[in-house]
Amino acid sequence: MINRLEILETIKMISEEHLDVRTVTMGISLLSCAANDIDTVCTRIYDKITHQAEHLVKTAVDIETEFGIPIINKRISVTPAALICESIKDADSFVKVAQALDKAAKTTGVDFIGGFSALVHKGATRGDKLLIDSIPEALATTDKLCSSVNVGTTKAGLNMDAVRKMGEVIKQTAHLTEDKDGFGCAKLVVFCNAVEDNPFMAGAFHGVGEPDAVINVGVSGPGVVKCALEKVKGADFGTVADTIKNTAFKITRMGQLVAQEASKRLNIPFGIVDLSLAPTPAVGDSVAYILEEMGLEQCGTHGTTAALALLNDAVKKGGVMATSYVGGLSGAFIPVSEDAGMIAAAQSGALSLEKLEAMTCVCSVGLDMICIPGDTSAETISAIIADEAAIGMVNNKTTAVRVIPAPGKKVGDVVEFGGLLGSGPVMNVNLKSSADFIARGGRIPAPIHSLRN
Amino acid sequence: MRAIITVIGTDKVGIIAEVSRVLAENQVNILDISQTIMQDMFTMIMLVDVSKSKIAFSALSDTLSSLGDALGLSIRIQHEDLFNSMHRI
């Protein structure tokens, strides 16, 4: 029989330390749904998703029961909608596509559906432009739909026309969801180096290099890492890194098990496990608390970037041995509104937007779930996106921006989103203008990677 | 399929009897059992075979969980593979 202490350790991780599988995400290709007629596209999309994902939620719930592991979200990601709607001629029709996706999500019972997306890192087609124009209304008239736009890659550089446009789209989305404090923006993410197999929202989509359908799993467990570190107080960084690696291995093995079971039962190939540390607003399930456990008085102070770099690397090193295929965003997430420690640090002033930007250089994934004043200009939002995308482009990593310019809110106010999305203190942005910089447009050329210094 | 049942809580008379009764009623075979007192908490771990169980796994899980509530204990049943995969390569 398995060792008693090991059994009790697992039980404690689940019952007291918030160990869970964050998401089982089914990727579904919609390439076969393309058509000239909008109604045909919508019908094909709805039918394909509801057929393919018919048993997804039930299977995940069965696995949850049999293994006693909470699976917090069940999600679907689909082919970027701009690709299958290239023949559609107006933005209003794209809103119908968004609603068809939302309806399919509701029928299958999943928590979110991602893939109302466009990949415009080098330039936008007519379909891409129409989709981007339709994002504010699409997000305002749906509940489960998430949208993402890729504006840059290391190989292509940054599409600054798209960066400028996305600043406006985010403002407009906040305006159309004003009654919910700009909640629409929580479902919209702007990427550099977006990945094709990401199981996490709001940025999940099913890339064109993927098979017809696939199962991807994202794990969680900041609370488990924090509790493990409590046992090595004062030890040197070698011990800290080893402790995190050991814990990440166990967390990821659980993700691998769930992914394999789901894949077997649904008869859909297993794609990847995302080696992630995803926080929730629950006390004790925070990435910030891990950094503080390492010896920082509060997350955001000097030393935070180094602590996060160690954490992120150790999570990957521990996790990579535990699963046969690694992918997605893989790393520690730092979404401010979803992390009790980050919220506290932002409220006390210890954590600033500038420090968060530095932190995103060494972790996954970017400026995430950050509330900014409602009167922040579109150009400033575009400039925030440009900075973050530049970090991703130059450092060969995925970066993203998901900011919420909460209408009518000022620095120090708190925006309540509820559920996994938590609550966000409105953070200070630099008030000097970036308008002339953003107005230039064009492309920032891809960086050179042969003369590394 | 084999599963692990864990019972954790304050010790009292008849815990093993009650859990065993529920398992016997549902044709769940006990393969191994161990119990101890750790940090004043009663902890019992059972390895069981549920392949001939009269009720579905989810129903068995609910039944054990309600028994736990009645006895003031936490009773869980989980697929053995969870522990194997987490702690063994």
Per-residue pLDDT at A27: 97
Residue numbers in A near B77 (CB within 8 A):
68
Q: Do A3 and B87 touch (CB under 8 A)?
A: yes
What DSSP state is assigned to residue A448?
Answer: P
Peptide linkage before A202 cis (omega within 30 of 0)? yes
Please write the tens of the pLDDT for every residue from A69-119: 999 999 999 999 999 999 988 889 999 999 999 999 999 999 999 999 999
CA atoms within 13 A on the CB side of A197: 22
Q: What is the largest CA-CA distance in chain A?
A: 69
Q: Do B76 and A11 touch (CB under 8 A)?
A: yes
The residues with which A25 forms a beta bridge, in sequence order, are: A75, A216
Peptide linkage before A283 cis (omega within 30 of 0)? no
Per-residue pLDDT at A453: 61
Q: Superfamily for B2-87?
A: ACT domain (3.30.70.260)
Please write the tens of the pLDDT for every residue from A396-426: 999 999 999 999 999 999 999 988 889 999 9
> How far is B31 from chain A, CA to nearest CA, in Å?
9
Residue A139 inside a domain? The answer is yes
In terms of domains, do A159 and A259 share one?
no
In terms of domains, do A185 and A325 share one?
no
In a mutational test of the A interface, the residue from B82, B88, B89 whose CB has the highest number of chain A CBs within 10 Å is B82
Helix B80-87 × helix A237-266 angle, to 10°:
140
Q: How far apart are CA A77 and CA A147, in angstroms?
A: 10
**Residue in A closest to B34 by C-alpha:** A4
Q: Do A66 and B79 touch (CB under 8 A)?
A: yes
Strand, coil or helix: B86: helix
Per-residue pLDDT at A276: 87
User: Cβ of A324 under 8 Å from any chain B Cβ?
Assistant: no
Q: How far apart are CA A347 and CA A412, in angstroms?
A: 7
The residues with which A219 forms a beta bridge, in sequence order, are: A21
User: Cβ of A67 under 8 Å from any chain B Cβ?
Assistant: yes
Residue A198 inside a domain? The answer is no
By Cβ distance, the residue of A2, A62, A250 closest to B84 is A2
**Alpha carbon A387 to chain centroid, angstroms:** 18
Q: Which helix or strand (DSSP H or E) is residue A259 part of? A: helix A237-266
In terms of domains, do A229 and A357 share one?
yes
Q: Which domain holds residue A234?
A: 218-444
Q: Do A10 and B86 touch (CB under 8 A)?
A: yes
Residue numbers in B near A65 (CB within 8 A):
57-58, 61
Residue numbers in A near B83 (CB within 8 A):
2, 6-7, 10
What are the boundaries of each domain within chain B? Answer: 2-87
Q: Do A2 and B4 touch (CB under 8 A)?
A: yes
In terms of domains, do A275 and A173 share one?
no
Q: How far apart are CA A308 and CA A299, in angstroms?
A: 10
Torsion-angle region of A27 (φ positive above 0: left; ψ -120 to 50: alpha; else: beta): beta
User: Cβ of A69 under 8 Å from any chain B Cβ?
Assistant: yes
Residue A65 inside a domain? The answer is no
In terms of domains, do A264 and A142 share one?
no
Please write the tens of the pLDDT for every residue from A325-384: 999 999 899 999 999 999 999 999 999 999 999 999 999 889 999 999 999 999 999 999
User: Cβ of A246 under 8 Å from any chain B Cβ?
Assistant: no
Q: How far apart are CA A312 and CA A335, in angstroms?
A: 15
In terms of domains, do A302 and A426 share one?
yes
In terms of domains, do A132 and A263 share one?
no
Q: What number of C-beta contacts closer than 8 Å exist between A and B? A: 67
The residues with which B38 forms a beta bridge, in sequence order, are: B41
Domain boundary among A146, A175, A192: A192
Q: How far apart are CA A145 and CA A138, in angstroms?
A: 8
User: Cβ of A266 under 8 Å from any chain B Cβ?
Assistant: no
In terms of domains, do A170 and A228 share one?
no
Residue A107 inside a domain? The answer is yes
Mean pLDDT of chain A, nearest integer: 95
How many independent structural domains does chain A possess?
2
In terms of domains, do A366 and A424 share one?
yes
Q: How far apart are CA A424 and CA A183, in angstroms?
A: 11
In terms of domains, do A337 and A375 share one?
yes
In terms of Cβ atoms closer than 10 Å to its own Cβ (0-12, 13-18, 19+), residue A298 is middle
Identify the CATH number of the domain in which residue A293 sits: 3.20.70.20
Q: Do A65 and B57 touch (CB under 8 A)?
A: yes
> How far is B70 from chain A, CA to nearest CA, in Å?
19
Name the residue among A218, A148, A199 with its Cα closest to residue A28: A199
Quickly list DSSP for A128-169. HHHHHHHHHHHHHT-SSEEEEEEEEETTTEEEHHHHHHHHHH
In terms of domains, do A222 and A178 share one?
no
Direct distance between the N- and C-terminal alpha carbons of chain B, in angstroms, rounded to an integer: 20
* pLDDT higher than 70, residue A1: no
Q: Do A4 and B45 touch (CB under 8 A)?
A: yes
Please write the tens of the pLDDT for every residue from A135-173: 999 999 999 999 999 999 999 999 999 999 999 999 999
In terms of domains, do A261 and A336 share one?
yes
Please write the tens of the pLDDT for every residue from B34-67: 998 877 789 999 999 999 999 999 999 999 999 9
Per-residue pLDDT at A2: 76
